[in-house]
C-alpha cells in the first residue's frame, strides 16, 4: 500500500557532536518523512538552525555538521505534511525567540482543534508565520511563560490542545520531551554513555550505538537539564490509544515501538492471517517492501514456500520523471518488476499490509494476470480501512477509501482477485498482544471509534479543505 508517512523526531543532550549524532538519527528515521528536514542546536549562548526541503542527506553537509551547528544539545525533525503546505517555512524544528528564551519545537502528530485555537490566538494579537498546527504550541507556551517556568507553560499549553502529539522542545539549556495523554504517537528514551537521547523509534539508537531505555509514557513529560532527568505528569491518566499502524506499517521492522518488537508483531499478523484464511496455493509472496514480514509469517504458518516474485528497484527517487503522460503505469512498473518464470501457471497468495484506494494493487495484479498467473489470492494483515485518520496519517477522506464503500467481494472483483481476506480486528489485537476489552490501541480507521472527537465547535471538520490554511 502506498501511504505517506508523518514525521520523525530526534534529540540528544550533552554530546560534543550533537548535530552529527542528530543527523545520523534522522537518517535512520528517513522512512517517516521525505519532505523536509531540520536540526537546531544550542551551545549555551546561541541557538543555530539548518532546515531544508528534501532528504536528510540533501539538506545537511559537512559544513553544517562540523562548523555551523555548534553545541552539545540538538533537536532534529523530518517531515511529511499532514497539515500545512509543503513549504520551507513549514519545515521543523520551528524556532522562535521570546524574551530571554530561545525555543525550538519538533512535533509528530496532528491537532484536531488547530483552527479554533489559531483564531483565538490571532484575536489576542498572535502573529503566525507558518500554516502548521505545531506553531499553535509555540504561541500557547509563550502566553504562559511570563512569571512561570517553562515546564508550567508547556503543561498549560497541553491543557488547551486536542489531538495527537509527541514533542521535543529545546528551551535554552533544557530539553523537554512529551507524549499526549492517549499516547497516540511514539517517543522513546535512550542513553549514549552519559548522554540522553530521544527518538521516535529505536532504530535511530542502533545506528549511533545508544542504549534503549524505555518508551516515554502517555501523558509523561521528561525534562533534561545538566544531564539530569526529571519526569512529570501532564494530566490525570486517560485511555491509552497508541496508533496501531506503527506496528502494521509505519515503523521500521528493526525498531522497538510502544515497547514492542515491530518485526515479531508483523510476522505474527501473517501467522494469524494464515489461520483465519488458509488457501491452497503454490507459494506466498509480498509486494516489497510493505507486506514482507507478514508474508514470512503466513508462509511459516501455512507451510507454503515464500517467494519474492516481484523485485523492487530501491534506487528510484521521488523526483523520477515519467517519459510521457500516456504511460500511466510507468511509475508502478519502475518500482517493481516481476520474475516472470515464477508466475506463469502458478497459484499465488499475495500478502499486503493494507489497502487504501486499491488502484496501485489493481495495476500490479493485472500484470500478474498478463504473465499467466492461474490464481491470485490476497491476504491483508490489517482490517479494512473504512474511516479517515485525524491524528497524523494521510488516509484519504472516507469517500476515497475503497473499503468504506464496497464489500470485500466487490473489492476482490475490482482488483482482479480470486479471493480476498482481511485480518479481523480480533486477529490484529491478538497479534499485538492487546486485550479486546481495553485494546490500548487506536482502531478508529477500522471501526470509526475516535478517542478524540475530530470535529471543531463550528461543526466543520478540522481538516476539511474548506478550512485549510493557505498563503
The answer to the question of whether 462 is labelled as a binding residue is no
Residue keyed to cell 475530530: 454
Closest CA to 6 of 454, 290, 394: 394
Count of C-beta atoms within a 10 Å radius of residue 89: 13
Cell of residue 414, nine digits: 475490482
Count of C-beta atoms within a 10 Å radius of residue 248: 25
Cell of residue 224, nine digits: 533534561
- Can you point out the beta strands (E) in 254-352? 256-257, 260-261, 283-286, 310-312, 336-338, 347-352
Where do runs of H (alpha helix) occur along 313-358? 330-335
The three-class DSSP label of residue 92 is coil
Question: Measured between alpha carbons, how far is 357 from 2 in angstroms, rounded to an integer?
Answer: 9
The answer to the question of whether 455 is labelled as a binding residue is no
Cell of residue 396, nine digits: 484519504
Q: Are 352 and 361 in contact (CB under 8 A)?
A: yes
Closest CA to 170 of 89, 77, 275: 77
**In terms of C-beta density within 10 A (0-12 exposed, 13-18 middle, 19 or more buried), how is residue 182 classed?**
buried
Residue in 7, 158, 382, 462 annotated catalytic: 7
Q: Are 352 and 287 in contact (CB under 8 A)?
A: yes
Question: Measured between alpha carbons, how far is 52 from 78 in angstroms, rounded to an integer?
Answer: 10
58: phi then psi, degrees, rounded to nearest 5: -90, -25
Please confirm, yes or no, whether 462 is among the known catalytic residues: no
Closest CA to 302 of 278, 276, 285, 286: 278
Q: Are 153 and 96 in contact (CB under 8 A)?
A: no
Where do runs of H (alpha helix) occur along 53-149? 56-59, 62-63, 114-123, 134-143
Question: Measured between alpha carbons, how far is 357 from 250 in angstroms, rounded to an integer?
Answer: 18
The answer to the question of whether 243 is labelled as a binding residue is yes
DSSP assignment letter at 461: B
Question: Measured between alpha carbons, how far is 165 from 65 in angstroms, rounded to an integer?
Answer: 28
The answer to the question of whether 228 is labelled as a binding residue is no
Q: Are 431 and 378 in contact (CB under 8 A)?
A: no
Question: Measured between alpha carbons, how far is 286 from 339 in angstroms, rounded to an integer?
Answer: 13
> At CB < 8 A and 24+ separation, what contacts does 318-327 make?
318/34
DSSP assignment letter at 214: E
Residues with catalytic annotation?
A: 7
Binding site for [4Fe-4S] cluster: residue ranges?
A: 243, 389, 442, 445
Amino acid at each position: 500500500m502506498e501511504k505517506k508517512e508523518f514525521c520523525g523526531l530526534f534529540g540528544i543532550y550533552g554530546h560534543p557532536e550533537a548535530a552529527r549524532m542528530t543527523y545520523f538519527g534522522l537518517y535512520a528515521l528517513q522512512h517517516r518523512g521525505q519532505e523536509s528536514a531540520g536540526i537546531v542546536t544550542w551551545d549555551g549562548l546561541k541557538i543555530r538552525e539548518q532546515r531544508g526541503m528534501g532528504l536528510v542527506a540533501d539538506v545537511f553537509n559537512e559544513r553544517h555538521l562540523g562548523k555551523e551547528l555548534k553545541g552539545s544539545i540538538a533537536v532534529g525533525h523530518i517531515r511529511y505534511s499532514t497539515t500545512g503546505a509543503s513549504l520551507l517555512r513549514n519545515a521543523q524544528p520551528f524556532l522562535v525567540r521570546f524574551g530571554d528564551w530561545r525555543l525550538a519545537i519538533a512535533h509528530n502528530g496532528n491537532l484536531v482543534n488547530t483552527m479554533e485555537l489559531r483564531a483565538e490566538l490571532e484575536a489576542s494579537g498572535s502573529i503566525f508565520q507558518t500554516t502548521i498546527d505545531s506553531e499553535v504550541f509555540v504561541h500557547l507556551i509563550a502566553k504562559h511563560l511570563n512569571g512561570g517556568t517553562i515546564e508550567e507553560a508547556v503543561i498549560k499549553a497541553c491543557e488547551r490542545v486536542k489531538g495527537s502529539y509527541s514533542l521535543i522542545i529545546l528551551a535554552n539549556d533544557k530539553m523537554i520531551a512529551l507524549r499526549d495523554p492517549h499516547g497516540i504517537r511514539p517517543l522513546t528514551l535512550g542513553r549514549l554513555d552519559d548522554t540522553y537521547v530521544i527518538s521516535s523509534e529505536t532504530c535511530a539508537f542502533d545506528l549511533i550505538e545508544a542504549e534503549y531505555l524505555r518508551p516515554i509514557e502517555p501523558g509523561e513529560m521528561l525534562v533534561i537539564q545538566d544531564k539530569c532527568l526529571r519526569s512529570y505528569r501532564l494530566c490525570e491518566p486517560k485511555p491509552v490509544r497508541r496508533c496501531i499502524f506503527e506496528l502494521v506499517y509505519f515503523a521500521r521492522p528493526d525498531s522497538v515501538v510502544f515497547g514492542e518488537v515491530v518485526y515479531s508483531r508483523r510476522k505474527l499478523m501473517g501467522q494469524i492471517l494464515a489461520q483465519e484464511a488458509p488457501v491452497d496455493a503454490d507459494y506466498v509472496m509480498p509486494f516489497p517492501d510493505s507486506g514482507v514480514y507478514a508474508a514470512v509469517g503466513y508462509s511459516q504458518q501455512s507451510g507454503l514456500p515464500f517467494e519474492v516474485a516481484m523485485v523492487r528497484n530501491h534506487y528510484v527517487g521521488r523526483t523520477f520523471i515519467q517519459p510521457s503522460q500516456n504511460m500511466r503505469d510507468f511509475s508502478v512498473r519502475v518500482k517493481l518488476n516481476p520474475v516472470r518464470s515464477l508466475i506463469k501457471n502458478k497459484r499465488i497468495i499475495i500478502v499486503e499490509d493494507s489497502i487504501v484506494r486499491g488502484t496501485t494493487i489493481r495495476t500490479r495484479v493485472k500484470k500478474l494476470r498478463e504473465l499467466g498467473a492461474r490464481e491470485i489470492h490476497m491476504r491483508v494483515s490489517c482490517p479494512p480501512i473504512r474511516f479517515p485518520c485525524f491524528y497524523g496519517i494521510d488516509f484519504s477522506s472516507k469517500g476515497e477509501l475503497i473499503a468504506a464503500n464496497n464489500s470485500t467481494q466487490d473489492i476482490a472483483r475490482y482488483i482482479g482477485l480470486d479471493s480476498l481476506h482481511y485480518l479481523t480486528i480480533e486477529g490484529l489485537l491478538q497479534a499485538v498482544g492487546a486485550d479486546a476489552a481495553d485494546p490500548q490501541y487506536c482502531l478508529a480507521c477500522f471501526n470509526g471509534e475516535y478517542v478524540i472527537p475530530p470535529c471543531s465547535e463550528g461543526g466543520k471538520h478540522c481538516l476539511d479543505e474548506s478550512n485549510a490554511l493557505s498563503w
